[in-house]
């Protein structure tokens, strides 16, 4: 698969900020590796983030996506799914 179809830290940070209102950026996700709890993103917030990613990435992420406890885990899961779908 090409790098352009992978989910980037930048794109994930934008979705987290827009859908859950938790301001974050790629550098923060990379460097401090926060959990969703650290960001005060609740379960409905995560649901909205996953739904938005599924729309923009064009794949279903599956039930495990909504159980991810951190943006890092979600990023890894999404990129694994993208590779598998490629």
Partner 1 sequence: MTRRTVVTGMGVIAPSGVGVDAFWRSALAGHGALGRLSRYPADGYPLTVAGEVRGYDPASAIDTRVTVQTDRFTQFALAAADLALEQARLSPDTLPPYSFGAVTASAAGGVEFGQREIERLWSRGPGHVGPYQSIAWFYAASTGQLSIRHGLKGPCGVLVADESGGLDALAHAARDIRYGTTAMLAGGAEAPFAPFSMACQYGHGLLSEADDPDHAYLPFSDLARGFTPAEGGAVLVLEEEEAARARGAVPQARIAGHGTTWTGGEPHVHSAEGLAKAVLGALDEAGCAPSDVGVVFADGLAHPAADRAEADALRQVFGPALDSLPVTVPKAGFGRAYAGAAALDVTLAALTLRHGLVPPTPYATGTAYDLDLVTGAPRPTDTATALVLARGLAGGNSALVLRAPGH
CA-wise closest residue to 17 among 67, 62, 52, 56: 52
Stretch that binds partner 1, among 5-13, 26-34, 42-50, 69-77 (CB under 8 A): 42-50
> Could you say which residues in the range 56-85 bind partner 1, by CB under 8 A?
none
CA 11, 12, 17, 21 torsion-angle sign: positive
Q: Is 19 in the site for partner 1 (CB under 8 A)?
A: yes
Cβ within 8 Å of residue 1, ≥6 positions away = 82, 83, 86
* Among 27, 40, 80, 83, interactor with partner 1 by CB under 8 A: 40
Give min distance, CB of 41 to partner 1, in A: 7
């Amino acid at each position: 698969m090409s790098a352009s179809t992978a989910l980037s830290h930048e794109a994930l940070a934008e979705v987290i900020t827009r859908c859950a209102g938790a301001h974050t950026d790629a550098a923060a996700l990379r460097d401090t590796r926060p959990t969703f709890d650290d960001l005060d993103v609740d379960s409905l917030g995560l649901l909205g983030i996953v739904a938005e990613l599924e729309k923009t990435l064009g794949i279903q992420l599956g039930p495990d996506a909504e159980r991810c406890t951190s943006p890092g885990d979600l990023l890894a899961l999404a990129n694994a799914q993208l590779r598998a779908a490629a």
